């Protein structure tokens, strides 16, 4: 039973990270129907920014909590700026082009950013400090669930709740929903669509950066390639949960995390990915739009 719980918690951590990144994919898709392949790279950039900030702050002798908060904040701001700029440079000029063009542009952006991090930083793995302090009350459970893992889970939950509330009850949220439903109509009723798209990219990038910082302090190392694999998994999670749906992204993340964790635990880690993608295929056969996705008539 303890083994089961450990695997469950391990899957929860992994799923939380997938969910945080998947939120970015799903939001962007919901609004402009674009798969932002450069999203994984934003996660890498977030992790690298946090590493640099944390190193500098440590030199100045800041304490653990303030380093965590400041490093995350800088990472969020910096990554958001990247997300905003990517949209302006790579996607906005192609807003009215055929759907394939922005897709290629997105892949190009992903390759570009990956190599940019490689050249600007290093191809080597870098050690990443454990930014999350060890909580006193977690001491007893340290061997099952570390403070960092708890932090990852709590952050994802809080972020998802805030995001849902923002989209449901604020003016910006309303504008987002309107843009998602019909961009042209939203424009006609006075919604600044360009601004809404930018905000979406900024929020998505901020979440990816948080995910990057948290998983890096959990694993303890980063390199330029981490975003690519995490991005693909998160994208899978977004599709699994129903792309375009926010609770779907989180649910998809958790289901993927658990599948991988239990497949490793009870079968073999050799088949981790086999199980994850077999599940994806199965779900898409029975629910082509994903678990919580709504299949709607194609807009003409």
Q: Kindly state the smallest distance separating residue 13's Cβ from another protein, in Å.
A: 6
Q: Kindly state the smallest distance separating residue 121's Cβ from another protein, in Å.
A: 14
- Report the residue number, 126 or 166, with the smaller CB distance to another protein: 126
- Report the residue number, 11 or 248, with the smaller CB distance to another protein: 11
Q: Measured between alpha carbons, how far is residue 256 from residues 23, 113, 222 in Å? A: 14, 26, 22
**Which 3 state secondary structure label does DSSP give 124?**
coil
Q: Kindly state the smallest distance separating residue 45's Cβ from another protein, in Å.
A: 17
- Report the residue number, 97 or 144, with the smaller CB distance to another protein: 144
Contact 199, 177 (CB under 8 A): no
DSSP-H helix ranges across 87-192: 100-120, 147-169, 171-181, 183-188
CA distance 76 to 197: 18
Output Rg (C-alpha) for the chain, integer angstroms: 19
From 26, 53, 22, 65, select the one nearest 40 (Cα to Cα): 22
Site residues for another protein per CB under 8 A = 3, 6-7, 10-11, 13-14, 17-18, 124-127, 130, 142-143, 146, 149, 215, 218-221, 223, 225-226, 229-230, 233, 260-262, 264-265, 268-270, 272-273
Give bridge partners of residue 297 from the DSSP assignment.
none
Q: Kindly state the smallest distance separating residue 140's Cβ from another protein, in Å.
A: 12
Query: In sequence order, what are the residues at sequence separation of 6 or more whose Cβ sits closer than 8 angstroms to the Cβ of residue 26?
Result: 238, 241, 243, 244, 245, 246, 248, 249
Q: Kindly state the smallest distance separating residue 296's Cβ from another protein, in Å.
A: 32
- Report the residue number, 66 or 269, with the smaller CB distance to another protein: 269
Q: Kindly state the smallest distance separating residue 73's Cβ from another protein, in Å.
A: 23
- Report the residue number, 87 or 260, with the smaller CB distance to another protein: 260
- Report the residue number, 81 or 232, with the smaller CB distance to another protein: 232
């Amino acid at each position: 039973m303890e083994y089961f719980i450990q695997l469950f918690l391990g899957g929860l951590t992994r799923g939380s990270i997938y969910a945080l990144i998947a939120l970015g994919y799903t939001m962007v898709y919901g609004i402009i129907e674009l798969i932002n392949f450069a999203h994984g790279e934003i996660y890498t950039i977030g992790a690298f920014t946090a590493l640099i900030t944390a190193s500098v702050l440590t030199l100045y002798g800041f304490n653990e909590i303030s380093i965590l908060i400041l490093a995350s904040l800088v990472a969020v701001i910096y990554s958001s700026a990247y997300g905003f700029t990517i949209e302006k440079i790579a996607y906005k000029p192609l807003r009215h082009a055929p759907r394939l063009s922005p897709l290629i542009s997105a892949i190009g952006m992903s390759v570009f950013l990956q190599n940019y991090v490689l050249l600007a930083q290093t191809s080597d793995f870098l050690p990443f400090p454990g930014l999350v302090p060890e909580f006193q009350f977690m001491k007893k459970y340290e061997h099952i669930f570390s403070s960092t893992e708890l932090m990852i889970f709590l952050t994802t939950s809080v972020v998802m709740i805030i995001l849902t509330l923002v989209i449901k009850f604020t003016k910006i949220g309303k504008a987002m929903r309107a843009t998602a439903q019909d961009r042209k109509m939203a424009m006609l009723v006075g919604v600044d669509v360009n601004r809404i798209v930018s905000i979406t990219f900024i929020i998505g990038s901020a979440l990816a950066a948080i995910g990057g910082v948290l998983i890096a302090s959990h694993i303890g190392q980063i390199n330029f390639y981490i975003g690519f694999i995490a991005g693909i998994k998160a994208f899978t999670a977004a599709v699994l949960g129903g792309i375009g749906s926010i609770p779907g992204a989180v649910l998809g993340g958790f289901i993927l995390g658990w599948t991988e964790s239990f497949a490793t635990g009870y079968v073999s880690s050799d088949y981790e990915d086999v199980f994850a993608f077999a599940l994806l295929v199965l779900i898409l056969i029975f629910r082509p739009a994903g678990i919580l996705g709504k299949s709607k008539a194609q807009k003409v």
